[in-house]
Amino acid sequence: MTGSSEPAPPGRNRRVVLYGNPVLRQPAAPVRELDARIRQFLADLKTTMLEQDGLGLAGNQLGEPVAAFAFDPRTTGLDEPPTCMINPRVVATEGELEREEGCLSLPGIYEVIPRPELVRIAGIDETGRPVEREATGLLARAFMHETDHLAGRLFIDYLSELRRSLLARRLVEFEEREVKATTE
Ligand code: ZN
């Protein structure tokens, strides 16, 4: 993949789509080239994540099935600016931890689900170079959550039928809000 030495464009704070939008169930398409459109999209992902207090944000949450996600290494104490992982794939996992998790596409819902304790992902960084990153704790959880998004999976998919049925009413509300937002 070809990179670019041009400075990144300023990102825009965009609307995050809610549960019910079909794009959240659509597997994301791999990025083939870091052209101006994709670079703008990556900038938007980072800005939207930061402005809306997310730990991570996947491409399809901005309404486009683009295989990239933003994450903020500072959430686990790393002194690195927010960045994007492009065409990510999980190459190794270890252990398991149960923790509460939430999602900007299901605002206000927090549920305890198991995730690996340690995760290694491979992908492409914003300059077009292949990278591998290892994470533990909250960042490992974010990596699993975001790579799931790019495969069309949501964290509530891991809940028992009983837990999901308790959320049913709120899920319908998200669907209704999303229909309203996309038809206005
Ligand atoms: Zn999410």
Catalytic residue from among 111, 146, 173, 176: 146
Residue 5 alpha carbon to ligand 1 centre in Å: 30
**Is residue 8 predicted with pLDDT exceeding 90?**
no
Instruction: Report the pLDDT averaged over residues 4-30.
Output: 91
Residue 25 alpha carbon to ligand 1 centre in Å: 12
Residue 183 alpha carbon to ligand 1 centre in Å: 23
Q: Which residues pair with 58 in a beta bridge?
A: 69
**For the chain, where are the alpha helices, taking DSSP H only?**
36-51, 137-150, 161-183
Q: How many helices (H) and strands (E) does the chain have?
A: 3, 7
The reply to whether 146 belongs to the active site is yes
Per residue in 90-119, pLDDT tens?
999 999 999 999 999 999 999 999 999 999
Q: Tokens 């495969």, residue?
A: 151
Residue 104 alpha carbon to ligand 1 centre in Å: 6
Per residue in 153-163, pLDDT tens?
999 999 999 99
How many C-beta atoms lie closer than 10 Å to residue 136's C-beta?
Answer: 15
Buried b (16+ CB within 10 A) or exposed e, 33-65: ebeeebbebbbbbbbbbeeeebbbbbbbbbebb
What pTM value is reported for the model? Answer: 0.94
